[in-house]
Structure 1
Amino acid sequence: MRLGAFCVLLLPFAAPGVVAAQGLSLPQAIESAFAENPDLAAARREIGIAEGDRQQAGLIPNPVVSWEAEDTRRSTSTTTVMLSQALELGGKRGARIDVASRGQDAAQIELERRGNELRAEVVQAFYAAVRAETGLDLAQQSQSLAERGLEIAEGRVRAGKSSPVEATRAQVQLSETNLLVRRAQTLKANSYRDLARATGSASATFDSLEYADLSPGKAPLAAKILTAIDRSAELRLAQAQIEQRDASLGSERAQRIPDLTVSIGSQYTREDRERVNVVGFSMPLPLFNRNQGNVLAASRRADQARDLRNAVELRLRTTTQSALAQWVTATRDVESFNQVILPSAKSAVDAATRGFEMGKFGFLEVLDAQRTLIDARSQYLESLAIATDARVTVERIYGDLSSFSTHP
């Protein structure tokens, strides 16, 4: 008991390294983004806005109360009180409701599309942070190799086995790797901030990332994913806009039929001391304005929406095929780097360093091998970025890709 209490008292003085790091996985980042991202929260407001438009569209016109007096002399004046109600003819109210309902459907699909965009943004930011974290590790490994090369070069110079120029070259190489490390540290900090912003946080609440693989995964089968293009949010939104424009055309056509206004009231004449009932009907005569201009514009907008829908489908198909091809190629490049290029480049550096230490090679061979390894690592990270960008492009269109089988 006393030992346990003593250990508790010592906890505040424990070394920082024993505190467990707070990691962030991709599913956690996506969940946080959907719960906290302000852009998506703003997009959700569109649902309420569309609901308000639908509610307003179903309301009928308010009645009008009027009072008028003829002859302002008190003894001979005539006063009339009227209650008027406009009756919408031609199905105007139903047409308005149809337009607003189509707007509600479009708002729901738009929210889904914005969700797909946010998911893709989080995926891109997460893997960018992963690459930055890996880039810092690789830069530090290159720094360690340069430090070892400088140590060997200085030892050979002190032993009189190499020219001081070799040590100078090694020092220059170490300075370059130090620069790479500083840049990698800055890139990691910036990528963490970008990921935090995508998840809806002003600052990073994590200090490490949890992932099983640097690669964003394998590309889905093109033949299967293209069959789902009609279910993509963007294409469904284009189709919903066609329906909305068609409904607007119907509403404009309904406006060609004038409304009937029915009035009832009471008239009182002081001179005769007589009260009479008044009934009236009024309707505009559609002689000149039959809403023909608005009908024509709405018809052209409906045709435009169909053209835009076809353009969206063509763009989505082309973009999907290009992104999948890019994804497959970049994935193969990443595999080549992991299996052949990076191990071979690292072995070349080790062999050149040992040879220089034994006096078989000059430091130029070591320098060339180190720079080759650095270039290979840079190209490796670039291939990872290309694969991630391709995945993000596809996820912007189709959303979560877990339901699609991967490329063999």
Structure 2
Amino acid sequence: MPMKFLRALVCIQLWFAAAGSMLYAQSPANDTLKISISQAEDQFLKNNLQLIAQRYNIDIASAQIITARLFNNPNFSFSNGIYASEVPNAYHEQTFGLAQLFTTAGKRNKNIQLAKINVQQAQYQFFDLLRTLRYTLRSDFYNIYYQEQSAQVYTQAIQSLTKTLGAFKEQFAKGNIAEKEVLRIQSELYSLENEYNDLQTGIDTTQREFKMLIRATPTAYVVPQYNGDLTGTQLVTAVPYQRLLDSAYANRYDLKSARTQVDYDNLNLRLQKANAVPDLTFNVGYDRLAAYGNNFLGAGVSFDLPFFNRNQGNIRQARVNIDQSKTQLQLQQNQVENDVATQYKTALRLEQLANSFDPKFRQDFTRLIQGVYRNYQMRNISLLEFLDFYDSYKTNILQSNNLQYSRLNSLEQLNYVTGTQFFNQQ
């Protein structure tokens, strides 16, 4: 094989690696799962086991309201005589008693209100989990998509270099080319294979998490369907910062939960004070052969005398809980403010960076390789120079994909920290 033809073969194969048709790193299998972001969210809402398990907590808390509303059961007692000295037919002696406990100081209503707050807390925990998992789902979706885009570059280059290396080895065996050219191709191939393996490991890890979220078949290979283009758009700039912060105050369920905890502790203090008030027990009794007279019927009331235990410890603990929950609420508010401020700056910076790139740069860079190819044919540049240029091309593509993903992910993070789908890209 003449040297000129061999070099042309390298250029042609590398050119197809750089500008060839779009191929995924994972060849489609029978269980390939092509899915859009909206379809993924539908499956997530229907099938995610974490959400299903958390939703049961709402039902469990709701059942506690039923328990809190129930009145105490009356107490019935009966006794029958068995033996009494010098008294014949002692078994004729019978007594009956009926007692009913009545809570005082509004304890029942306070317990009902606490149970209702528990339901609210369970709901807030569910929606906060939903917020977190939805962010993970959407972030993983875009991450897989752009990682696959990057994997194409490696897949095409590895296929081309593998064929080229075989051809070079044949020519080296015939003495037509120097060993250093074979080693250079081989070194480039090994480097690409290692980089591709690291990338594929990351894809597999993200795929696993994504499939768990939508409860997909473990053997399925997810192929995200996304055709969005944010080039030149001003999404973050168009939304005022204060609007994002106000949305976070109104829609962050972890913040709502912290506020509700303060309400719960305030009400619990009132309940503990009410528990210091003794409850009343009313009773009615019947004694067939009482000492006072036959068929004795009596009534009475009983209650504890609050001389020693006035629920002092629980009242003090309830007051401390209020101080603690107020501190945690302030901490949560600070966390929300810092989350929104940080993510807003990040999203704004990434939007400006992405929009500063010429949208034609990637296409122009790809066309430029044709000129490099012609120069290589004319032996104006060496094989090493051509491979160095291709390495620059590869780096540019990877950085471009990373930037696009980072920009999308910053929008999802803004959605996450504000609790609102401001930037719901499809």
Using the size of structure 1 for normalisation, the TM-score is 0.82
Q: Distance in 1 between matches of 2:162 and 2:370?
A: 13
1:25 aligned to 15, 36, 46, which one?
A: 36
CA contact (8 A) 1:125 1:195 kept: yes
User: CA offset at residue 386 of structure 1?
Assistant: 3.4
How many correspondences in the alignment? Answer: 390
Q: Distance in 2 between matches of 1:274 and 1:59?
A: 37
> Residue 94 of structure 1 corresponds to which residue in structure 2?
109
Bigger shift: residues 163-172 or 102-111: 163-172
CA contact (8 A) 1:258 1:284 kept: yes
2:261 aligned to 241, 247, 259, which one?
A: 241
- The answer as to 2:301 corresponding to 1:301 is no
> For residue 393 of structure 1, what is the amino acid of its counterpart?
Q
Bigger shift: residues 185-194 or 247-256: 185-194
Q: Distance in 2 between matches of 1:337 and 1:191?
A: 28
User: CA offset at residue 404 of structure 1?
Assistant: 8.8
Mapping for residues 363-382 of structure 1, pairs under 5 Å: 363-382=383-402
1:42 aligned to 53, 59, 65, which one?
A: 53
2:246 aligned to 205, 224, 227, which one?
A: 227
CA contact (8 A) 1:149 1:353 kept: no
Q: Distance in 2 between matches of 1:360 and 1:158?
A: 27
Q: Deviations over 1:86-136 (max 9, x none)?
A: 111110001101111111222222222122122112101211211222122
Q: Deviations over 1:138-188 (max 9, x none)?
A: 222443664697699889989999744133212321232234444444544
Mapping for residues 199-214 of structure 1, pairs under 5 Å: 199-203=214-218, 208-213=223-228
1:110 aligned to 118, 125, 131, which one?
A: 125
SS in structure 2 opposite 1:208? strand
Q: Deviations over 1:196-227 (max 9, x none)?
A: 21112242656532111377994454232112
CA contact (8 A) 2:248 2:419 kept: no
Gaps of at least 5 residues in structure 1 are 1-15
Mapping for residues 356-395 of structure 1, pairs under 5 Å: 356-395=376-415
Q: Distance in 1 between matches of 2:219 and 2:107?
A: 54
> For residue 181 of structure 2, what is the amino acid of its counterpart?
E
SS in structure 2 opposite 1:278? strand
Superposition CA RMSD, Å? 3.6
CA contact (8 A) 1:75 1:271 kept: no
SS in structure 1 opposite 2:284? strand
Evaluate the alpha carbon distance shift between residue 20 and residue 103 of structure 1 in structure 2; reply closer, same or farther with a 3 A threshold.
closer
> Residue 254 of structure 1 corresponds to which residue in structure 2?
274
Evaluate the alpha carbon distance shift between residue 335 and residue 346 of structure 1 in structure 2; reply closer, same or farther with a 3 A threshold.
farther
> Residue 5 of structure 1 corresponds to which residue in structure 2?
none
SS in structure 2 opposite 1:228? helix
> For residue 86 of structure 1, what is the amino acid of its counterpart?
L
SS in structure 2 opposite 1:281? strand
> Residue 121 of structure 1 corresponds to which residue in structure 2?
136
> Residue 7 of structure 1 corresponds to which residue in structure 2?
none
Q: Deviations over 1:239-262 (max 9, x none)?
A: 112112222122111101100100
Q: Distance in 2 between matches of 1:114 and 1:126?
A: 18
Bigger shift: residues 82-91 or 389-398: 389-398
> Residue 64 of structure 2 corresponds to which residue in structure 1?
53
Q: Distance in 2 between matches of 1:190 and 1:281?
A: 69
Q: Deviations over 1:6-50 (max 9, x none)?
A: xxxxxxxxxx99x99752100110111001000000111111111
Q: Distance in 1 between matches of 2:380 and 2:169?
A: 16
Evaluate the alpha carbon distance shift between residue 144 and residue 271 of structure 1 in structure 2; reply closer, same or farther with a 3 A threshold.
closer
CA contact (8 A) 2:412 2:423 kept: no
1:329 aligned to 335, 338, 349, which one?
A: 349
Gaps of at least 5 residues in structure 2 are 1-26
Bigger shift: residues 40-49 or 233-242: 233-242
- The answer as to 2:91 corresponding to 1:80 is no
CA contact (8 A) 1:331 1:383 kept: no
Q: Distance in 2 between matches of 1:203 and 1:347?
A: 41
CA contact (8 A) 2:65 2:116 kept: yes
Bigger shift: residues 213-222 or 31-40: 213-222
SS in structure 2 opposite 1:284? coil
Q: Distance in 2 between matches of 1:268 and 1:327?
A: 86
> For residue 59 of structure 2, what is the amino acid of its counterpart?
G
User: CA offset at residue 377 of structure 1?
Assistant: 3.3
Q: Distance in 2 between matches of 1:190 and 1:174?
A: 24
SS in structure 2 opposite 1:100? helix
Q: Distance in 2 between matches of 1:338 and 1:204?
A: 40
Q: Distance in 2 between matches of 1:363 and 1:180?
A: 21
